[in-house]
Amino acid sequence: MYMELDKRLVSVVPSERQVRFQQLEFYAFIHFTVNTFTDREWGDGTESPSIFTPMKLDAQQWVNAVISAGMRGLILTCKHHDGFCLWDTKFTGHNVMNSPFGRDIVREVSDACKEGGIAFGVYLSPWDRNCPLYGRGKEYDDFFVGQLTELLTNYGKVFSVWFDGACGEGANGKKQYYDWERYYAVIRRLQPGACISVCGPDVRWCGNEAGHTRNAEWSVVPLRARDSEIISEKSQHEDSTEFRQRRVDARDEDLGSRAVLKNESELIWYPAEVNTSIRPGWFYHESENDRVRPLSELVDIYIRSVGGNATFLLNIPPTKDGLLHENDVKRLAELGEFLHKSFAENLVPDSELTCESELTGFGIENVIKDSYESWYMPNSSNADIQIKPPRTEKLGYLIIKENILKSQRIESFAVDVMKGGCFRELFRGTTVGYKRIVPLGGIETDCVRIRINDSRTMPAISFIGVYRSAGINN
């Protein structure tokens, strides 16, 4: 029934830049501007640079905290909607060099990322409430492209250029119609390895800022899902607590099943990013010092995002001093400790693996490399894979990854554990994709079974991991 459709679906694969991006898995957002000093989420562009005084700013402290959580990259809000620039730009005097601080923060953060061995990315708001050119078409586009060019040529390698679709009135009371294709062309020319995220062709927004995820996240979706006008309409256009807490619309729950894609003529690889903040707001507010997300909540979002075929972008806002608050730093370290202990040792290398289907390239040496060498189930869309550790273990998590260079193939799978001499189903899911993390809840067993019940074509698995329970109270 689906044979021709399935052939078309698995012909859609990621670009090299998209693969590298997904491999980062977990990375930070840093929101910092004049808003930090006005106790607002959105500025209006009239703020004086004289209020910007983060005299203890330490970019290395930011990077160290990010690394402690297990993050592999950092995206800096180089300019938010207020138009205040955190770098030495020649296009406006509304920048950090004309503040009492007087240092190029983009330079300091990019250098700290390089020293810390993590990737550096930039956020540049296309909405500039300070610029008098905003709303004047090409004149403003020239201004914006000039600033974008500075960021992409003066600060080393950039892994992500992050755009949202916010578009309101500028200082002259007019709206600007963004020339997205021109912006994209500049990025491709200057930073060809960078992914353009959210309002861009490489990585899509999950649809909310609350950390809510879909039960099934597909990377192969209709071309229309990439339409910047659609994304712009769904993006935040005013400062709203209600918007930040909004969940995924039920109408958008399924973006890529066979049923949804069967009548779509154009398909693309467009993986999801889950973005949220460690606090209720995106910028620092002293009143939120005791409202840092609990560890259990961050772990849950991580498992559902990174472990649900998406990436996880977590915002941490610096204080007025220019440092990350001690409560945030502590929580990041706790999260990193949890992740390290929970995935410290893969039991599969010492286990007995069996599979009921005849396999090509099957073996422990292939499924523990965590690479894009994969084994296949020829002429079959299903298989039962059993993992038997040397002894009974209390298990915390199972990881299964597809070789996404061969597209996303698995449509349905389940995980069973052996209890009392028979298998008991513990989890049933649909998609796998780049990575699926299945919580096993500390159950004690000597055998785990993965049942691949349906695939678009023969499954291509690149990694299996089974991890004992770390016994951590999160």
Q: Are residues 36 and 54 in the same domain?
A: yes
474 falls within a domain: no
pLDDT at position 23: 95
Question: Domain tally for the chain?
Answer: 2
Structural domain that includes position 101: 3-342
Cα dist. 121→14, 45, 273 in Å?
A: 20, 24, 14
Q: What is the mean pLDDT of residues 58-65?
A: 98
Q: What is the mean pLDDT of residues 28-51?
A: 97
Q: Are residues 112 and 195 in the same domain?
A: yes
SS3 for 349? helix
pLDDT at position 237: 47
Mean pLDDT score of the chain: 89
* CATH number of residue 299's parent domain: 3.20.20.80
For residues 213 and 329, which has the higher predicted lDDT (pLDDT)?
A: 329
Q: Are residues 286 and 393 in the same domain?
A: no
Q: Are residues 168 and 262 in the same domain?
A: yes
175 falls within a domain: yes
Query: Tens of pLDDT along 386-415?
Result: 999 999 999 999 999 999 999 999 999 999
pLDDT at position 120: 98
pLDDT at position 323: 98
244 falls within a domain: yes
* CATH number of residue 403's parent domain: 2.60.120.260
Q: Are residues 170 and 259 in the same domain?
A: yes
125 falls within a domain: yes
Whether 58 shows a pLDDT value over 50: the answer reads yes
Beta partners for 75?
29, 121
Q: Are residues 136 and 271 in the same domain?
A: yes
Q: Are residues 389 and 297 in the same domain?
A: no
For residues 334 and 244, which has the higher predicted lDDT (pLDDT)?
A: 334
Sheet hosting strand 310-315, strand order edge to edge: 195-198, 160-163, 119-124, 73-79, 26-30, 310-315, 272-277, 204-205
Query: Tens of pLDDT along 345-354?
Result: 999 999 988 8
What percent of the chain has a predicted confidence (pLDDT) above 70? 87
Domain final position from 313, 342, 371: 342
Domain final position from 342, 373, 399: 342
pLDDT at position 226: 74
Least confident of 41-50, 197-206, 331-340: 197-206
Sheet hosting strand 352-355, strand order edge to edge: 352-355, 383-388, 448-455, 410-419, 422-429
473 falls within a domain: no
What is this structure's pTM?
0.93
Q: Are 76 and 161 in contact (CB under 8 A)?
A: no
For residues 215 and 397, which has the higher predicted lDDT (pLDDT)?
A: 397
Domain final position from 307, 342, 377: 342
pLDDT at position 367: 67
Q: Are 34 and 77 in contact (CB under 8 A)?
A: no
Whether 227 shows a pLDDT value over 70: the answer reads no
255 falls within a domain: yes
213 falls within a domain: yes
